[in-house]
Structure 1
Amino acid sequence: MKKALVLDNVRFAHGGSEMHFDLAVEAGEWLAVIGPSGAGKSTLLDLVAGFAAPSAGTIAIDGRAMAGVAPAERPLSIVFQDNNLFPHLDVFHNVALGIAPDLRVAAADRRRVEAALDAVGLAGFGKRRPAEMSGGERQRVALARVFLRDRPLLLLDEPFAALGPALRREMLVILTELRAGRAEPPAIVMVTHHPEDAVGHADRTAFLDAGEIAAIGPTRRLLAGDDDPRVARYLGTIAPGERP
């Protein structure tokens, strides 16, 4: 099966310690990434996106080696917690940046932007500025933009962390619906501090600990915490120092 993302023996020195990642994500798969603070979750995304360079190993996206490929040239999209919207642009043009970086929007592209806004429940919001919108609405704008770009890999770096539980669930449903509307949905790698966000959405979940993928497997099984005591301690199903 085609791989959307492969990290092969990737190493990265950080703060006097070395991180080591081996990972393969199938095309169209949704992978959640959990783990304690400092485990390397955001570093993993930085390496894939090209914001950090590995000291060893190879990274391939959609079958293409990424060595020497600049972040802007990589076949992926990213949604951050701060949504990365431009405050001086209205919603329409923030979304249009996904397909028209120079903001020269042809008639056909205009229809695509409007359809993307409609898909995330923001029809009629095109002339608003980000400052005039709620946090959840701004994240909808960010999702509309990345799905308009139609890249094979989508990285989510805790984009819904600042939202309340109900709004986080709503955003995950929107994301699921956007993927379902694609003939070839993108693979997703989603970093989250809320393991419950993975349930019902992520096909697999990876647990990072001390700079490496300590456990990975089907989401419900891994989050049960029965197979690895480190996962159980992180989830709080067994106390620190307690034997499983």
Structure 2
Amino acid sequence: MTHPAAAIELRDVEIRFETTTLQFDCTIATGGIVAVAGASGSGKSTLFHLVAGLEDPDRGEVRILGRNVTTLAPSERPVSMIFQENNLFAHLDVATNVGLGISPALRLTPADREKIAHALSRVGLEGFEQRLPPTLSGGERQRVALARALVRHRPVLLLDEPFAALDPGMRAGMRALLGELHAEEGNTILMITHHPEDVKALADRVLFLDRGRIIAHDTLDRFLERRDNAAIDRFLGNE
């Protein structure tokens, strides 16, 4: 029986590649911010792709908000995803890029245009509607991507290293913005990061992956106290 508080369930999920097999089994409650950490190649992006529907498992079941979505296309899942490279179209202005979150065909009503303006205002980009992405800073482009996710109002948001290209000052500002928006939206956020400071500043819980397995699924406090695994020690700098 599915627990009503579960945002995401990976039930005995297995995905096979040429040289390795990844296995995931976990339940993520609704409404929190979960950091997904681990060394490069540990399976973090694959886990995201399974939740988003960008890859299909060879075995097992993916459930979101109690519904089996294993065979659903990405567009049919209640999920938004922001990639490290933010996936903006360079030849389209900011408002149009955000509008793609409402209608991929860009059939936008006046009410939709108001939603776009409101979302841009919420991420600190009021008046940027006509700007083109190449004229923006890295932090501004990530805020456009966040605005696009906001107008979709999906209950699950996946962030794949959203601050990777930002300098420390911009990282801190984006973390603060994300925390504020999460408090307003009440959505469930999973965030891939290689930075312990992102985990400490934002996360309620931590999923830690090592060689295609989830080796820790802890509250933040419990995770920070761990001294029982070399990969976690390396990540936290405890060595």
Change (3 A) 1:23 1:33: same
Pair 1:151-2:149 in alignment: no
- 3-state SS in 1 of match to 2:50: helix
CA contact (8 A) 1:93 1:103 kept: yes
TM, length-normalised to structure 2: 0.94
Aligned residues: 236
**1:196 is matched with which residue?**
197
Structure 1 segments, 4+ long, off by >6 Å, are none
TM, length-normalised to structure 1: 0.92
CA contact (8 A) 1:75 1:152 kept: yes
For residues 133 and 108 of structure 2, what CA distance do their matches in structure 1 show?
Answer: 20
Pair 1:93-2:96 in alignment: yes
**1:109 is matched with which residue?**
112
For residues 213 and 76 of structure 1, what CA distance do their matches in structure 2 show?
Answer: 21
For structure 1, the 5+ residue unaligned runs are 239-244
**2:175 is matched with which residue?**
172
Q: CA deviation at 1:220?
A: 3.1
For residues 120 and 181 of structure 2, what CA distance do their matches in structure 1 show?
Answer: 11
For residues 188 and 103 of structure 1, what CA distance do their matches in structure 2 show?
Answer: 26
Q: CA deviation at 1:229?
A: 4.1
For structure 2, the 5+ residue unaligned runs are none
Pair 1:3-2:6 in alignment: yes
- 3-state SS in 2 of match to 1:23: strand
**1:242 is matched with which residue?**
none
Pair 1:83-2:79 in alignment: no
For residues 96 and 52 of structure 1, what CA distance do their matches in structure 2 show?
Answer: 26
With 222-231 and 197-206 compared, the bigger mean Cα shift is at 222-231
CA contact (8 A) 1:223 1:231 kept: no
CA contact (8 A) 1:225 1:235 kept: no
**1:41 is matched with which residue?**
44
Correspondence for 1:139 among 131, 138, 142: 142
The one-letter code matched in structure 2 to 1:9 is D
Correspondence for 2:75 among 67, 72, 77: 72
Q: Alpha-carbon deviations, 1:105-128, whole Å to 9, x = none? A: 211111111010000000000000
The one-letter code matched in structure 2 to 1:174 is L
For residues 226 and 237 of structure 2, what CA distance do their matches in structure 1 show?
Answer: 9
Pair 1:119-2:114 in alignment: no
For residues 172 and 129 of structure 1, what CA distance do their matches in structure 2 show?
Answer: 24
Aligned-residue Cα RMSD (Å) equals 1.3
